[in-house]
Amino acid sequence: MNQDFSIITLVLHASFVVQLVIAGLLLTSLASWSVIFNKLFGLRRLRRGNDDFEQSFWSGKNLNDLYASASANQHSATLERIFASGMREFLKLRERRLDAQGQLDGARRAMRASLHRELDAIEGNVGFLASVASVSPYVGLFGTVWGIMHAFVGLSNVQQVTLATVAPGIAEALVATAIGLFAAIPAVVAYNRFARDIDRIATQLESFIEEFSNILQRNAAQSPAAAR
């Protein structure tokens, strides 16, 4: 007699523990895909915003005008917020008539603090993908081991064991491993892609801080109205 070995049938006939493992892996996979798409579009918007601000910054606009625009923009880019934090601290220290080096050091510390906050926000949920990538195969393997154990316990009461009697239980158990890999592989690929993209963004932000610090150093002894 031909037996139905479709995935749905195998899952429906699996033991409760295996079904629980499969359900958990499917929910985890769904959550990881949600993170993947959100992070994919989020990083794309972030890069576009940074590139637009960097183009505006190097177009020769006055720093005070750029700072006023950045302060008024509620949806400013990451690079724009780092610029605003450095410029804000620089102007504060200038009003206190701190020496040029003190103004520069204060602005640089403010930008570094802003950089760390921004990177923490950018890296949000990327660790979840790493956890899914590393844990899912083992969870699927646990479901497989449990399913095989359950299948062999059921065969203990069978007088004659053939491939036809063993195959369904083994197939049901192996579905858990397959779904574990189904959850893990996209998470691995996405994590590596996002880690590379975030490293590039961090390099861009670090370079901007150094370049902007050089500009602030040249303007540290000037009046605020002449800053550029």
Query: So what's the pLDDT on residue 198?
Result: 94
Answer yes or no: are the C-beta atoms of 14 and 22 closer than 8 Å.
Answer: yes
Sign of the CA dihedral with 194 first, then 199, 204, and 209 last: positive
Question: Of the ranges 81-85, 121-125, 221-225, which one carries the lowest mean pLDDT score?
Answer: 221-225
pLDDT digits (tens, 9 = 90+) for 12-40: 767 788 888 889 999 999 999 999 999 99
The residue that leads in pLDDT, 120 or 1, is 120
Residue 161 burial by Cβ neighbours in a 10 Å radius (0-12, 13-18, 19+): exposed
98, burial (CB in 10 Å: exposed 0-12, middle 13-18, buried 19+): middle
Structure tokens belonging to residue 28: 């985890």
